[in-house]
Amino acid sequence: MRVKWSGSIGRRLRESQDVVRLLRACLNLSSSTRNGESIHASVVKQGFLAFTSVANSMMNFYAKSGDLGSALLVFNYCIPNKDSVSWNVIIHAHLHRSVASPRGLCFFTQAWAASGFQPNISTLVLVIQTYRYLRAFEAGRTVHASTIRAGCSTVTSLQNSLLRFYAEFQMQLAHNLFDEMTDRDVISWTVMVAAYAQTHEETLVALELFRRMVDSGIKSDGQSVVSVLKACSKSKAVRMGESIHGFVISRALGYDVFVPNSLIDLYSKCNHMDSSLRVFREIPEKNVVSWNTFLSGLVQNEMHSEALTLFDSMRKAGVESDEVTLVNLLQLCKSFLDPDQSKLIHSRILRRGFELNQLVTNSLIDAYASCNLITHAWNQFSNLKTRDAVTWSTMIAGFTHCGMPDEAIAVFREMSHTTEPPNAVTMLNLLEACSLSADMKRSRCAHGIAIRRGLASDVVVGTAILDMYSKCGSIGSSRKVFDLIPHKNVVTWSAIIAAYGMNGFPNEALALLAEMKACGLRPNQVTALSLLSACSHGGLVEEGISLFEELIWDHEVEPCLEHYSCLIDLLARAGKVDSAMNLIRKLHDGLKAGASAWGALLSACRNYENYEFGASALPQVLELEPSGSAGYLLASNMYASGHSWVDATKMRMLAKEGSVKVIAGYSLVYANGKACKFLAGDKHHSLSDELQFTIQQLHSYMKMDVAC
């Protein structure tokens, strides 16, 4: 209908349907609100609001124009006889504007109580979506039952909404509904694939559903491909991911940038960085997510130099960094242990206005603590007005990393006075702090907190409690905790083996290997390392060599440098310096003895006065750890024991000239309810004289044992 806008428009409105058409036309105009208000005034003058259809159209016009207040006025005062359309319009208006609108649900409840109300599909979809958002399971099921009674439960769009709803609560219910559907579209399949892809246990189901979808002839879209790629990432199914990649190319689904972004994420998480780079380069128009995803992949795969180069390219391309970019850069600062770069990223955070972003701030605290700038980390933490569990956990971990367990435990105490409950990660950080303090009283308190929070039975937390007690020297407590863990994994067994080994029970540690195998678990590299370490510290040379051959040569464990270093340490401690040196020389290609192996050899050369091999080991130690004090001190002591005073002095002068910081060794002894710290060479201790006398006695007893 051709309409000429003028002040006399009301005179030409004779039929109520003309008003409805005019209001629909107004919604397509840029000045719709002003024109609509003119029509409203004319409608009132002509008395057309008596027609419910006109009043409904007027209300719908205001709602879609964003004027919910005027729509509500029309609903409340201009429609005495509200029909189903009236209710649907006002409910839709509220729920479309805010998914968690309490007024929208209130209107739905009132309408449901009114006789003759028939909700349309759009309203039902929004109501189910709202109940899903509010986690209102029973209310959602009631609506589902009502749709069945109303005979509209087979509408595909409604079923898809119900699929999303049930997937939030019980996947079995969602799967039952999915199986009942006779007309599944791409959204139906995508909802199910995405839901199963969210959980680590069901990713294979997601992959199988996607295969069934393709086989059934449903045309996949970008969203369904992204969902199945997420499942591939979680299950590390790179071969399946490559097949999906081929599918994307054959179906030309890569035009949506979020599809190649998901491929980059998949390849990065599966350590296929060449494939990830190829996908990244082939994206014609990269967005900030593309850059961030590839940057995250490089950081995760410890390709730090490449990550810095990529960030430089990102800046040159004119792409503005966002909070995800900054978090990745902070991860790089942690890897490089670069305090200056951390400060530069901090200044960038301030310039970009991300200082209130929780994710960024937590990462900044973590980076500062990792770079031993604990004061900067604490300042950031103290300035935060709101702190989540991650913030508290990060600060506790930061103090622990910097060797400040008292401060870490104090932060946990402060957290306990807030409304933020500690989670499993918080508990792990607290347990690590207690391990560092070696205080049994604190350790028992932390254990009690884990029990009260229902976290002690968790295999990860339980293993950390076991480890904490072992570091406090209470192997009995470690064993009790171990026995109470219901579902032990290989990490738990490795931890209890290490506990017995470090507390001087090497035979018991070796006996646990048979128990572990009897439970159907195979030792991994950490288990092997714990066993070899137990043999090394317990002086079980033959047992250690036999174990190495059993685990390595029988292909139970793939040997790495740490295993060979531990075996070298075992031989060196036992005085078999020749055998240790031969083992270093026979290391196969790809393995090169590290500082720990050469250091063990150098220490043995000092103890057993083998100056020839000591002279060979010394340059290796200094080359591999030029800033470490251990090599210089070992060499100095070795030369001093051989009365080569000039060489001994030279070593100490080299350390001084290189500004090598000497870290004194210390022992923690638990006595009278507290942990007592004894520092090597400390002459200012209140019991210094008594300690020196006792130490001399112990040395004399040790020499007597050796002589016997």
Confidence at residue 404, expressed as pLDDT on a 0 to 100 scale: 93
How many CB atoms neighbour CB 54 within 10 A? 24
Question: Which of 278, 338, 348, 263 has the alpha carbon at shortest distance from 304?
Answer: 338
Q: What is the mean pLDDT of residues 330-355?
A: 89
Q: What pLDDT is stored for residue 112 in this prediction?
A: 80
Within a 10 A sphere around the Cβ of 640, how many other Cβ atoms? 16
> How many Cβ atoms from other residues are within 10 Å of residue 212's Cβ?
13
The DSSP secondary structure of 407-441, one letter per residue, reads: HHHHHHHHHHTSS----HHHHHHHHHHHHHHT-HH
Of 94, 16, 117, residue with least CA distance to 57: 16
Which of the residue ranges 24-33, 243-252, 446-455, 631-640 has the most confident prediction, judged by mean pLDDT?
A: 446-455
Angle 645-657/629-641 helices, nearest 10 degrees? 170
pLDDT exceeds 50 at position 85: yes
**What are the tens digits of pLDDT across the range 170-225?**
889 999 999 999 888 999 998 998 888 887 677 788 888 888 888 888 888 888 88
Nearest to 486 by CA among 462, 520, 454, 510: 462
Nearest to 187 by CA among 159, 214, 151: 159
Residue with tokens 């992959």: 207
pLDDT above 60 (res 109): yes
Taking all residues of the chain, what is their mean pLDDT, rounded to a whole number?
85
- 684 pLDDT band, cuts 50/70/90, is low
Please tell me the distance from the alpha carbon of residue 433 to that of residue 409, in angstroms, as a whole number.
7
Q: Convert the pLDDT of each residue in 128-152 to its tens digit.
A: 998 898 888 999 899 899 888 878 8
Poorest-pLDDT segment among 285-289, 333-337, 466-470, 474-478? 333-337
Nearby residues of 91 by Cβ (< 8 Å), 6 or more positions away = 104, 107, 108, 111, 119, 123, 126, 127
> Under a CB-based contact definition with an 8 Å cutoff, are residues 13 and 42 in contact?
yes
Assess contact for 602 and 621: CB atoms under 8 A: yes
Instruction: State pLDDT tens for residues 577-590.
Output: 888 888 888 887 67
pLDDT value for 30: 55
Judge whether residue 326 has pLDDT over 60: yes
Please give the pLDDT value at position 501: 93
CA trace torsion 642, 643, 649, 651 (10° rounding) = -10
Q: What is the pLDDT of residue 381?
A: 95
| b/e sequence 357-368, b meaning 16+ C-beta within 10 Å | beebbbbbbbbb
CB 473 within 8 A of CB 503: yes
How far apart are the C-alpha atoms of 580 and 317, rounded to whole Å? 54
Residue 16 above 70 pLDDT?
no
| Pairing assessment for the beta strands 666-671 and 674-679 based on DSSP bridges | antiparallel
559 close to 549: Cβ distance less than 8 angstroms? no
pLDDT of 361 higher than 90: yes
Give the relative orientation of helices 52-64 and 68-77 as an angle to the nearest 10 degrees: 160
**506, 507, 512, 515 alpha-carbon torsion, rounded to 10°:** 170
Tens of pLDDT, residue by residue over 252-298, are 887 789 899 999 999 999 999 999 999 999 998 999 999 999 999 99
pLDDT, tens digit (0-9, with 9 covering 90-100), for 17-32: 666 676 777 766 655 5
| Overall average pLDDT of the 308-316 stretch | 92
Confidence of residue 681 (pLDDT cuts 50, 70, 90): low
Q: Is the pLDDT of residue 251 over 60?
A: yes
Looking at per-residue pLDDT, the higher value among 659 and 73 belongs to 73
DSSP 311-356: HHHHHHTTPPP-HHHHHHHHHHHHHHT-HHHHHHHHHHHHHHT-TT
Give the model's pLDDT for residue 587: 80
Inform me whether the pLDDT recorded for 10 exceeds 70: no
Average pLDDT over residues 349-353: 90
Using a pLDDT cut of 90, give the percent of the chain over it: 37
Element (H, E) at 679: strand 674-679
What the block records as the tokens of 596 is: 């720990």
3-state secondary structure 263-313: HHHHHHHCCCHHHHHHHHHHCCCCCHHHHHHHHHHHHHCCCHHHHHHHHHH
Residue 544 and residue 535 in contact, taking contact as beta carbons nearer than 8 Å = yes
What is the rounded average pLDDT of the residues 482-490?
93
pLDDT-derived band of residue 1, with 50, 70 and 90 as boundaries?
Answer: very low
| Closest to 572 in 3D by CA, of 592, 544, 547, 531 | 544
Is the pLDDT at 632 greater than 60? The verdict is yes
Helix crossing, 595-607 with 629-641: angle to 10°?
20
In this model, does residue 467 exceed pLDDT 50? yes
Burial 264-301 (b: 16+ CB within 10 A, else e): bbbbbbbebbebbbebbeebeebeebbbbbbbbbbbbb
User: 3-class SS at 666?
Assistant: strand
pLDDT band at 45 (very low <50, low <70, confident <90, very high): confident
pLDDT value at 42 more than 80: no
* Cβ(322)–Cβ(288) below 8 Å: yes
Q: What is the mean pLDDT of residues 409-435?
A: 94
CA torsion 248-251-255-257 (nearest 10°) is -20
- Percentage of the chain modeled with pLDDT above 70: 89
Contact 198, 209 (CB under 8 A): no
pLDDT at 8 over 90: no
pLDDT for the residue numbered 708? 52
Check residue 696 and give its pLDDT.
79
Question: How many Å apart are CA 446 and CA 304, to the nearest integer?
Answer: 37
Token pair, residue 703, equals 């020499």
